[in-house]
């Protein structure tokens, strides 16, 4: 069912237990482009699916590093969507599960947060497993202490998910009386399968520029997330 921005705002205001499932559209108002839009700009015909794969990390580390460095946007700040979700934690039972790796939900102050695909701002050495500051990683992908390769703790194509992360996300979705899907085409597995973990009586609200494929009943508002969250 298609609803208005004001009706979507009301649904959020009237719910006490909300879990948000967020994607790239939540960060584009902060100036973080979807990594797919980088395709062709820096690397000709190579697909981002390869450049962000474990295969590329291992076989062509220099190419991986050059691409991943372009995903860091130090100047990006949380927008009204991130801020509203973080502030709601003060008065409601809120969880945010994000596909984004840009760290903006954390910067905004969300604590009930699952970074489903990891974070660019969490780096470690593949050889000695030590944590490394992301600022050091942007200087060099070689670990000073051991000479190993540094990588960001993000889920690459070809890699599996940690059970603990999946379990936390499943629990968060099952806890909600309202599940809000924001700024994502909702087609990436296993993220989009999380919707099947909702309570049977939980409502679903989709806030996106375009309709998404989703089984079952849900309310859909065709809008940018900022239009809704500036009123919440
Ligand atoms: Zn090391």
Give CA–CA dist 170/82, Å, rounded. Answer: 21
First to last CA, the chain: 21
149 alpha carbon – ligand 1 mean position (Å): 7
Residue spans per domain, the chain: 5-32+73-117+161-229, 120-154
- Measured in angstroms, how far is the CA atom of residue 117 from the centroid of ligand 1? 23
Nearest to 121 by CA among 48, 68, 173, 198: 68
Query: What are 129-136's contacts with CB under 8 Å, separation 24+?
Result: 134/72
Tell me the pLDDT tens digit for each residue of 101-160.
999 999 999 999 999 999 999 999 999 999 999 999 999 999 999 999 999 999 999 999
CA of 63 to the centre of ligand 1 (A): 20
Catalytic residue among 43, 73, 117, 189: 117
Kindly report the average pLDDT of the chain as a whole number.
95
Taking alpha carbons only, the member of 227, 110, 91, 114 closest to residue 167 is 114
5-32+73-117+161-229 is a CATH 3.40.50.1220 domain = yes
- Residue 43: pLDDT over 60: no
Annotated binding-site residues for Zn(2+) read 125, 128, 143, 146
Where is the binding site, in residues?
Answer: 125, 128, 143, 146
Give yes or no for a contact between 127 and 147, defined as CB atoms under 8 angstroms apart. Answer: yes
d(CA 98, CA 106): 11
* Residue 46 pLDDT class (50, 70, 90 cuts): confident
Which pLDDT belongs to residue 38?
65
CB 116, CB 99: distance < 8 Å: yes
Q: What is the mean pLDDT of residues 25-42?
A: 78
Residue 201 has pLDDT above 60, yes or no: yes
pLDDT of residue 42: 55
152-188 pLDDT, tens digit each: 999 999 999 999 999 999 999 999 999 999 999 999 9
Has 70 been annotated as catalytic?
Answer: no
CA of 135 to the centre of ligand 1 (A): 15
């Amino acid at each position: 069912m298609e609803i208005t921005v004001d009706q979507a705002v009301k649904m959020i205001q009237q719910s006490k237990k909300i879990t948000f499932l967020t994607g790239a559209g939540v960060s584009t108002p902060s100036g973080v482009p979807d990594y797919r839009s980088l395709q062709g700009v820096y690397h000709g015909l190579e697909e981002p699916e390869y450049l962000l794969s474990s295969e590329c990390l291992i076989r062509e580390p220099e190419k991986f590093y050059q691409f991943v460095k372009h995903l860091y946007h130090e100047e990006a700040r949380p927008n009204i969507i991130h801020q509203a979700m973080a502030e709601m934690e003060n008065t409601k039972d809120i969880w945010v599960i994000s596909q984004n790796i840009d760290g903006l939900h954390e910067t905004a102050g969300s604590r009930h947060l699952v970074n489903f695909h990891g974070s660019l701002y969490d780096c470690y050495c593949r050889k000695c497993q030590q944590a490394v500051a992301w600022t050091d990683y942007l200087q060099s992908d070689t670990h000073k202490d051991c000479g190993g390769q540094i990588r960001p703790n993000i889920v690459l194509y070809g890699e599996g998910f940690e059970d603990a992360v999946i379990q936390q996300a499943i629990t968060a979705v099952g806890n909600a009386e309202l599940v809000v899907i924001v700024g994502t085409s909702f087609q990436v597995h296993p993220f989009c399968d999380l919707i099947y973990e909702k309570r049977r009586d939980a409502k679903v609200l989709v806030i996106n520029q375009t309709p998404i494929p989703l089984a079952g009943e849900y309310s859909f508002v065709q809008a940018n997330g900022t239009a809704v969250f500036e009123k919440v």
